[in-house]
Amino acid sequence: MAKDPDIPKRTDADRRIRQADRWATTLRILYLLLGRGKWDLQSLAEEFECSARTIRRHLNVLEYAGVPYTYDRDAKCYRVRPDVKFPVLNLSRDELLEQATAAVVTKASGLDVAADAGATTERIAARSRDAEAELLADAEAVMQVLDLKLADHSQHREMIKNIQWALIERKQISGEYKSPNADGPMQLTLHPFRLCLSGQAWYLIARPVDEEHPKTFRVARFSSVRLIDAEAVVPEDFSLDDYFGNAWNVFRGDESYDIEIEFSKDAADLVTETRWHKTQQVKRHPNGRVTLTFTVDGLEEIVWWVLGWSGRAKVIKPVELRQLVVEKLQTALEMNQH
């Protein structure tokens, strides 16, 4: 069949670009298979917006290249032999900057839960060209995290590390915990579900072995934490979003409230600079005032936030929140009158 003379021929440059693009897709697939996600033909096809047949061709390239991957029938996904890794080299300038930023952020008090958080940056610098090592050093020199007002976890690094390993290895933990609502320390054995940084502190979501439902524990209130040789039972469908719901921070109340608070003109720009809650909505008024609305599960946490805006915030609804604010202000006045 004769070729249509009106169809332009592909140049060598075009062919090289297309070939490079195919190789790039093959490498991206390999990166995904090396990760901890679960990828099968269908999910890979959806990720790359192509057909399953196209994904099979990329997998064939990996096979021809000697990449030891198999299909795990139990997990229903592809797996690459765990000792196959890419070297941490040839990072772009943006990737180097991101690494330096991470190293700076994790030096901040409250985020420095790993004593050697900057070790990765140092190893990258040691194995990089002079220009890359200089970029890492320069980036760290021009950034600093100041005064985040997070809880001081400098004495809890070992406990946090134990919790992290327990979560990764699916092990139970045992520890002594001092709750503000208890007369003395409690000895707990827990199935750890998640570790999260929220508000100003690190929290552990875990289920006591003698209870049916998980609870929220503030890490700073543990005096000891150790792994025990017993398997932790963690629901596969557990979600922090579902667990916390619309809690203002980490403690979810039993009742949901529609919150509406009006802020004075001098506070309008300041209060809207921050997204305080995932349900936050902002309405600006012609007089310069601004109204923020939220849907929150429980009032015990948000009331303290509202009190921080005393003199510049008026609770429109619910009545229960307005009463809480008044009661706590009255108590504060009584305490400070003499």
What would the pLDDT profile of 177-196 be if each residue is shown by its tens digit?
998 888 889 999 999 999 99
Between these two residues, 326 and 120, which has the higher pLDDT value? 326
pLDDT at 310 > cutoff 90: yes
Give me the mean pLDDT over the 245-262 stretch.
95
Average pLDDT, the chain: 86
* Architecture of the CATH domain 157-239: Roll (2.30)
d(CA 62, CA 74): 22
Pair 168, 155: CB distance under 8 Å: no
At residue 205, what are phi and psi to the nearest 5 degrees? -100, 120
List b or e across 280-304, with b for residues whose CB sees 16 or more CB atoms inside 10 angstroms.
eeeeeeeeebbbbbbebbbbebbbe
Per-residue pLDDT band for 22 (boundaries 50, 70, 90) equals confident
Q: Which residue has the tokens 């009584």?
A: 334
With both helix axes pointing from N to C terminus, report the angle between 119-126 and 130-141 in degrees, rounded to the nearest 10.
Answer: 150
Q: Copy the structure tokens of residue 155.
A: 């004495």
Query: Greater confidence, 181 or 257?
Result: 257
Q: Of 41-45, 103-107, 240-244, which range is least confident? A: 103-107
pLDDT digits (tens, 9 = 90+) for 202-243: 999 999 999 999 999 999 999 999 999 999 999 999 999 999
Among 126-140, 152-166, 290-304, the range scoring the smallest mean pLDDT is 126-140
Q: How far is 300 from 259, CA to CA, in rounded Å?
A: 13
As its CATH architecture, domain 12-80 has: Orthogonal Bundle (1.10)
Q: In which band, very low, low, confident or very high, does the pLDDT at 101 lie, cut at 50, 70 and 90?
A: confident
90 confidence band (pLDDT: 50, 70, 90): low
Q: Is 100 helix (H, G, I), strand (E, B) or coil?
A: helix
CB atoms within 10 A of CB 266: 11
User: What is the per-residue pLDDT for 240?
Assistant: 92
Distance CA 137, CA 152 (A): 27
- What's the pLDDT at 84? 64
The rounded distance, in Å, linking the Cα atoms of 109 and 161 is 16
- Report the pLDDT value the prediction gives residue 244, as an integer from 0 to 100: 95
**pLDDT over 70, % of the chain:** 90
Q: Please state the length of the chain.
A: 338
pLDDT at 103: 81
